[in-house]
């Protein structure tokens, strides 16, 4: 199962103890899964490809309105029709009673109810990408009003969400890993939160190791390239009369570099007589290279 699927399974099992929180979560599922076009005859319809959202809605209806029996004989309250799971309340009075109870506004919602509403919205229309690949939480909203209402609820928990228009839907999303963790905590998905954090830590450790390896590899490559260039210059000098004119110190450094092609500047300095620091070794090698280049390109550099 996907990471999002695991989160929704956890949220589907989570039942708030208070009726007002149950109603807030029920309101979110209704807002994000309700079929308003079918309410003209008084019927209430909840429809989704996500069975967990419809099942949670069924559970909350039973708890908040004591609906413990099916509305049709020999048929369940919700059923699958094609790719959709569908819950129908055909009694107009019951449907009106439920619709009246699930009308919520941000200014009168308690903190616990805001958490429940966010949980219901995610269960109905949310997803989280695999944290091993990327950090992205989103909730698809049917219209701009719902998107801004939900963004306001998240803002009350200091979680800043952005909204984009994708085809005909307004999509609320969070891309910051820390804020996704906070959102999971707000919804009560604590097992998923721990899984997310574990994967995030492993990912960051791998990225840190990769950066260090890449940096060290690049440094090694630079050192090898520089050493090879120095050796080429020294061999060129040794093949011409200019080498005889070099000072004893430069000749010693040239011979050390040829004899120890993989040695670092520090190691070459320790082999010198007397010992030199890295800056002293670098100065002599640069001077050898400059002299070599001057013999190769006397017109452009000029002998000095």
Q: 42-91, pLDDT tens digit by residue?
A: 788 888 888 899 999 989 988 888 765 544 444 456 778 888 888 888 88
Q: Return mean pLDDT, the chain.
A: 87
State what percent of residues in the chain have pLDDT above 90: 46
**H helices within the chain, ranges in order?**
3-13, 19-33, 51-65, 92-101, 111-125, 144-155, 177-187, 190-238, 248-259, 265-271, 278-296, 298-301
117 inside domain: yes
Q: Residue 273: phi, psi to the nearest 5? A: -125, 110
Task: Identify the burial level of 303 via C-beta atoms within 10 angstroms of its C-beta, where 0-12 means exposed, 13-18 middle and 19 or more buried.
Answer: exposed
Same domain, 7 and 95: yes
Same domain, 123 and 264: no
- The structural domain count of the chain equals 2
List the one residue out of 118, 130, 127, 122 whose CA is nearest residue 198: 130
Which residues form the domain of 94? 3-188
Same domain, 184 and 112: yes
Structure tokens at 176: 């910051």
Mean pLDDT (whole number) for 125-154? 93
- For residue 108, what pLDDT is reported? 65
Higher pLDDT, 81 or 229: 229
pLDDT surpasses 70 at 37: no
Ranges 88-97, 125-134, 143-152, 231-240: which has the least confidence? 88-97
Ranges 8-12, 200-204, 296-300: which has the least confidence? 296-300
Dihedral over alpha carbons 202, 206, 208, 214 (to 10 degrees): 180
Model pLDDT for residues 144-189, shown as the tens digit of each residue: 999 999 999 999 999 999 999 998 999 999 999 999 999 999 999 9
Distance CA(222)–CA(251), nearest Å, equals 24
> Which band of pLDDT confidence, cut at 50, 70 and 90, is reported for residue 38?
low
Same domain, 245 and 182: no
Same domain, 8 and 151: yes
Structure tokens at 170: 């307004």
β pairing state of 126-128 and 137-141: antiparallel
Same domain, 183 and 243: no
262 inside domain: yes
- For residue 21, what pLDDT is reported? 93
In this structure, what DSSP letter does residue 60 have? H
281-294 b/e (C-beta count within 10 Å ≥ 16 → b): beebbeebbebbee
Total residues found in the chain within this entry: 304
> Which band of pLDDT confidence, cut at 50, 70 and 90, is reported for residue 302?
very low
What Cα–Cα distance (Å) separates residue 273 from each residue in 230, 252, 262, 281?
20, 8, 19, 11
- For residue 166, what pLDDT is reported? 92
Model pLDDT for residues 280-289, shown as the tens digit of each residue: 999 999 999 9
- For residue 304, what pLDDT is reported? 39
Same domain, 214 and 182: no
Q: Tell me: cis bond preceding 274? Omega within 30 of 0 counts.
A: yes
Report the predicted TM-score, pTM, of the whole model to 2 decimal places.
0.70
- For residue 71, what pLDDT is reported? 41
């Amino acid at each position: 199962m996907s990471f999002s699927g695991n989160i929704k399974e956890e949220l589907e099992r989570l039942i708030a103890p208070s009726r007002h929180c149950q109603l807030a979560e029920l309101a979110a599922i209704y807002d994000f899964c309700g079929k308003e076009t079918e309410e003209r005859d008084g019927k209430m319809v909840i429809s989704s490809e996500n069975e967990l959202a419809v099942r949670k809605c069924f559970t909350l209806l039973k708890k908040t309105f004591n609906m413990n029996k099916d509305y049709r004989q020999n048929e369940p309250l919700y059923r699958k029709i094609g790719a959709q799971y569908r819950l129908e309340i055909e009694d107009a009075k019951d449907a009106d009673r439920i619709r009246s109870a699930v009308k919520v506004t941000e200014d009168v919602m308690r903190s616990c109810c805001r958490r429940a509403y966010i949980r219901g919205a995610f269960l109905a229309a949310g997803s989280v990408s695999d944290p091993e690949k990327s950090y992205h939480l989103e909730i698809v909203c049917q219209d701009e009003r719902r998107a801004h209402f939900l963004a306001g609820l998240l803002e009350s928990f200091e979680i800043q969400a952005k909204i984009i228009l994708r085809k005909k839907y307004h999509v609320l999303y969070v891309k910051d890993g820390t804020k996704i963790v906070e959102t999971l905590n707000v919804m009560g998905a604590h097992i998923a939160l721990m899984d997310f954090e574990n994967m995030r830590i492993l990912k960051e450790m791998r990225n840190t190791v990769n950066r260090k390896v890449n940096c060290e590899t690049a440094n090694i490559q630079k050192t090898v390239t520089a050493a090879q260039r120095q050796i080429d210059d020294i061999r060129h000098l040794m093949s011409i009369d200019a080498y005889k004119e070099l000072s004893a110190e430069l000749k010693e450094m040239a011979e050390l570099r040829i004899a120890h092609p993989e040695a670092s500047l520090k190691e070459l300095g320790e082999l010198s007589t007397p010992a030199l620091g890295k800056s002293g070794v670098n100065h002599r090698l640069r001077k050898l290279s400059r002299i070599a280049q001057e013999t190769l390109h006397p017109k452009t550099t000029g002998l000095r």
